[in-house]
Amino acid sequence: MINIVFLGPPGAGKGTQSNKIEHEFNIVQISTGDILRNAVKTGSELGKLAKKYMDEGKLVPDDVIIGIVKARLQQDDCKNGFILDGFPRTIAQAEALDDMLKNDLNIELTHIIALEVPDELILERLTGRRSCSKCGAAYHLKYNPPKVDNICDICGSNLVQRDDDKEETINKRLKVYHEQTEQLKTYYSNSGKYYEIDGTKHPDEVYEKIKSILTK
């Protein structure tokens, strides 16, 4: 089994690399945001509890999230392994995850991979993203611009910037990352399973480095 925790700031490329790993190694990417929304949608007991906190504008407690992650890891598509993307976010969550994996599921993490990308490049990557308001086609003002400014090449509709790709929002997300999640690098650094990778390289080059780690 390959069981990965992916670390890195928003926009570091975790989603892109997770998709590549998922297809080549036949393991499943688990986004805690996705499974939280799915738990709420399906109306599971933990989902109902999570929805109560979300409706009140509160953070979902760690024990509820751990319960939802545990239920997800027991599904059949995780039998070959998994990639945790977006979880854990804090030391307390990492400790709870370790305890749950060891004592409840009898499995262990095999790799903790951190993508290193400086804040200025994160801002350039995220603030430049645009998507078509109609067909959803994705663009980037620098790396993949439309042929005509602000117009979708495919359907001719206007391009829009998502609220969470605006500079003010990104700076807030980066602040939270540096204050909380970045501490996980220290937490995992002595595990013998921790790897830091330069995420500023071309995505294919980054993936080759990750692949070499996973296959050695």
Enzyme catalytic residues: 14, 89, 129, 162, 173
Give me 170's structure tokens: 């990104």
Question: Under a CB-based contact definition with an 8 Å cutoff, are residues 88 and 184 in contact?
Answer: yes
Question: Which residues, in sequence order, are CB contacts of 144 under 8 Å at separation 6+?
Answer: 138
Could you tell me the sign of the dihedral formed by the alpha carbons of 173, 46, 22, 163, in that order? negative
Query: Residue 88, preceding bond cis, omega within 30 degrees?
Result: yes
Round the CA-based radius of gyration of the chain to a whole number and report it.
18
User: CA-based angle 48:49:51, to the nearest 5?
Assistant: 65
Max distance between CA atoms of the chain, in angstroms, equals 56
CA 137, 143, 148, 152: dihedral to nearest 10 degrees?
0
